[in-house]
Structure 1
Amino acid sequence: MGIRILVIEDEANIADFLVRGLGEEGFNVEHLADGVAAWSALRSESWDLVLLDWWLPGLDGLSLLRKFRERDRQTPVLFLTARDNVQNRVQGLDSGADDYLCKPYDFDELLARVRALIRRRDNANGLVLSYRDVAVDVPAQRAEREGQPLDLTAKELALLTFFVRNPERVLSRTRIFEHVWGGGVDGPSKTLDVHVMELRRKLEAHGPRLIHTFRGRGYLFGTPPESEPGEGR
């Protein structure tokens, strides 16, 4: 599964900028515009990073952060707000934020902070995924097979990470789109097929086939059961 980021921001233009920009960097990004809906999502789902605005309808960002920290002290939270005086920064950090960035901000700086927070979290968790001779170092955003580095795009890496987390089972196209692209794709899209083809080619440069196609069902990462019908290339 790719890195999941929840953007909690009520200004539509800023939210759209964040969702598009982070999505282009390979992150799975979801957006909510009010504190009450955000609190429900924080309680019911798992996130790798939260980007949080201070001023929100329903429940303000500071109150939301304090409630969240009562039940989750691990998920990193980056405050994004126009409140830029020292007292506000201290208040935000003391309430549980891991970082604080004032508006307006440069996207490259935001991206650097996002990556740093994810690395810090994953380094603390020691998150290196593996299956047979394939390893994915999530903090470093690197993958290898048989000890050889794989030159993967952000989406190919997210796809491989999802496969490694779910080996030996047929994963439907819908499920893959939801977890790697952050939602469904309408119509007969070839996006997934192209990414699987490229990922398969790069993996097979260092070993036998691991990604198997099951027509009408999806893809399996690993060794398919001999009795499974409908396997194709």
Structure 2
Amino acid sequence: MGVIRAANAAYAVATCREFRQAEVKNVLFVLLDQAKWEDGCAGPILRAGADDVQPAPIHADEFVARLKALARRGTYNDHLFIKMPGCVFDAETGHAESGTRRAHLTGTEAKLLATLALDPAKVRTKADLMDHMYGDEDGGPEIKIIDVLVCKLRRKLIEMNGGLDVIRTVWGRGYQFEPAGFVPDYRDGRSRRSR
């Protein structure tokens, strides 16, 4: 994600256009100096490739909320394919496919997989996953739903990947996507730990 602080609209337009012509796919958030903000100035900046334009200064809470909203929406901006050892997930169709086998992921399972897969090096906490999946909705599901969704998603993907797991549990921290997969190490019938 890129944040561009612009002194004027012309600079913001030129900068956004340069980024997009260079095929930079990051989310671009433009903060335009309040003194240069006028009706209609955001239109050309958005058409040049910005994802959001706001006058600066901006309240810190609103800034963080806008960045998180853009990050949530940005997950499916492009047609997303997630390659795993035994299958490929197509975000547009919602299917994980391997030859003649096909598994359908629910919308929440697909969103969970995409959130984990877009940054495989990062361990995502349950709170982080809740924020990416549900935002700050009041009355939303309990945080325990993340464990349930991971379990259901993991079961489908292990079957599609020939027994390899692609979601690693990092004990005490959260979950991480393992694009090459790993073989789960079962300690007993109910508990599972990965190597």
Q: Give TM-score scaled by structure 1 length.
A: 0.42
User: Which structure has more helix as a fraction of its residues?
Assistant: 1
User: Which structure has more strand as a fraction of its residues?
Assistant: 2
